[in-house]
Amino acid sequence: MSNLKARVVETTNGFHVEGYEKIEYDFTFLDGVFELQNLQLANFYERWGRCLAIMDKNIFDLYGHQMQEYFKHHLLQLKIHQAMIGEKAKSLETLTQIVDSMTEFGIIRKEPVLVAGGGLVTDVAGFARAAYRRNTNYIRIPTTVIGLIDASVSIKVAVNFGNYKNRLGAYHAPMHTLLDFGFLRTLPEAQVRNGFAELIKISSCAHLPTFNLLDEFCERLIPTKFGRSHGQNNEIKQAADEINRSGIFEMLKLETPNLHEIGLDRVIAYGHTWSPLHELTPATPLRHGHAISIDMAYSATLANTRGLLSDEQHRRLLGLFSRAGLSMDHELFNEEILAKATAAILKTRDRLLRAAVPSPFGSCKFLNDVTDEEMAAALHRHKMLMKEYPRNGAGIEAYVDASDTGYTVNAEHLINGQKLSGGASGSKESVFRNGVMNGLKGLASNSHSTRLPALQGQR
């Protein structure tokens, strides 16, 4: 029997059914999830005597041996499926490869799969779990800033389809999420910056104390991996821990009453109005944090133009994006993209724009009556403002690279023994798409590839 509370009643012309199903899942902060003395992870698999792990290949390269020793120490059989997932490979093809591994492993109905990696891996593997027998269990170990403070909070799982992010997906909660910020020690600085954008998002719209801490510690948080680099002082780590815990808690408080997004006015959708289309528009996609920071910065300019955000707060927000090295503008963020992205998001949001903007810091308003002319005027003003900032508002390491996908797409490199050029425009797209697809096909279900180049960093 399920825990679904439901009833059926007769109506004049038929029947009416309504039901309410309990959703519960836990988060545990844990330093050193693969340390032999920490039993939390092993306890989940003691009943089964084994574990199938879907693991980011970068994470396997860094932590795979330690993970294998952990399960061996606790007398648990472990099989690892390595996944190499960038935005262009966040696809149905990747999902079916994960499903194939679950089938070969012989997953039992309620047996949880372990999913370890960044937000892209947890999204795709979570969707595979939602689709497999319609509803099967999994446990998450996020390993990036975005994974830890954003993707781990939501129960949304998805793959991209066409040129749209997360067009196919589901709502599927994990049994448990283990939050180990120690993974940030090996995270490339570009990925730390990428996740920083999500913390600006939630704090500027919902929690001013966290925004103040981000503003104060910005230049010390990113290069020190949120205070997790070896030899860092306790002040930075304590600030980082307060920021991360508060950020997660604020997002949970906002998401929990609306887990299935019945309500479409969502504070945490700040920066997610025009970015879902724009993120994948460049030949080499933008990192998610840079895509949403462009959206947030432009939205803040729109709010300031309307008098919803003061000049002082507007400049303070733009200044924080700039100091963090996050993008605030892009040559392809233009009127054409705004129009296409607006048309797409109106369908997602039930024909209303629902563009979240901070007004003032620590609170949020939603814009529904923005005209095309107003958007264009705000865009023109925004691009003029960007001339006052370093790099004209462009971000540092804004595009996905080997730390996202396992492939270097901006320079010459070897894939399957062939030299490929990562030149401009269309050639990048070809190398990126074909390289990732061929590489994924080369990954065996037992996780070992015989033909892929070594990865450069963690996702």
Tens digits of per-residue pLDDT, 329-369?
Answer: 999 999 999 999 999 999 999 999 999 999 999 999 999 99
If you average pLDDT over residues 363-381, what whole number do you get? Answer: 97
Rounded to a whole number of angstroms, the distance between the first and last alpha carbons of the chain is: 40
pLDDT above 70 for 444: no
Q: Which of 45, 39, 40 is nearest to 28 (CA)?
A: 40
pLDDT of 455: 30
Distance CA 184, CA 187 (A): 5
pLDDT above 60 for 433: no
Q: What is the pTM of this model?
A: 0.82
If you average pLDDT over residues 228-250, what whole number do you get? Answer: 91
pLDDT above 90 for 1: no
Phi-psi bin for 23: left (phi > 0), alpha (psi -120 to 50), beta? beta
If you average pLDDT over residues 415-432, what whole number do you get? Answer: 32
3-state secondary structure of 77: strand
Q: Give the other-Cβ count within 10 Å of 45's Cβ.
A: 21
CATH of domain 189-393: 1.20.1090.10
Fold of 26-186: Rossmann fold (3.40.50)
Asked if residues 426 and 439 have their Cβ atoms less than 8 Å apart, the reply is: no
pLDDT of 423: 31
Structure tokens at 459: 């996702």
Residues 105-164 have pLDDT tens digits of 999 989 999 999 988 889 999 999 999 999 899 999 999 999 899 888 889 999 988 877
Q: Which of 268, 288, 270, 266 is nearest to 278 (CA)?
A: 288
β-pairing verdict for 15-21 and 4-10: antiparallel
Under the banding of pLDDT at 50, 70 and 90, the label for residue 294 is very high
If you average pLDDT over residues 87-98, what whole number do you get? Answer: 87
Residues 302-331 have pLDDT tens digits of 999 999 999 999 999 999 999 999 999 999
pLDDT above 60 for 283: yes
pLDDT of 164: 78
Tracing tokens 């970015």 back to the chain, one arrives at 275
Higher pLDDT, 49 or 413: 49
Pick from 224-238, 267-281, 384-398: least confident: 224-238
pLDDT above 70 for 300: yes
If you average pLDDT over residues 61-70, what whole number do you get? Answer: 96
pLDDT of 440: 32
If you average pLDDT over residues 206-210, what whole number do you get? Answer: 97
Residues 248-275 have pLDDT tens digits of 999 999 989 988 888 999 999 999 999 9
pLDDT > 90: what percent of the chain?
73
If you average pLDDT over residues 393-415, what whole number do you get? Answer: 61
Give the residue range(s) of CATH 3.40.50.1970 domains in the chain: 26-186
Under the banding of pLDDT at 50, 70 and 90, the label for residue 191 is very high
Q: Give the other-Cβ count within 10 Å of 386's Cβ.
A: 22
Under the banding of pLDDT at 50, 70 and 90, the label for residue 404 is low
3-state secondary structure of 62: helix
**Phi, psi of 39, deg, nearest 5:** -90, -10
pLDDT above 60 for 420: no
pLDDT above 80 for 454: no
pLDDT of 226: 95
pLDDT of 434: 35
pLDDT > 70: what percent of the chain?
87
Task: Check residue 419 and report its DSSP letter.
Answer: E
Higher pLDDT, 433 or 201: 201
Under the banding of pLDDT at 50, 70 and 90, the label for residue 405 is low
Q: Which amino acid is at 225?
A: K
pLDDT of 162: 81
Ranked by mean pLDDT, the top range of 56-65, 224-233, 438-447 is: 56-65
If you average pLDDT over residues 37-54, what whole number do you get? Answer: 97
Give the residue range(s) of CATH 1.20.1090.10 domains in the chain: 189-393
Q: Give the other-Cβ count within 10 Å of 93's Cβ.
A: 12
Tracing tokens 């149905």 back to the chain, one arrives at 92
pLDDT of 118: 87
pLDDT above 50 for 446: no
pLDDT of 79: 97
Residues 6+ apart with CB under 8 A from 330: 278, 282, 286, 294, 394, 398
Under the banding of pLDDT at 50, 70 and 90, the label for residue 12 is very high
Strand partners, 365: 357
If you average pLDDT over residues 92-103, what whole number do you get? Answer: 93
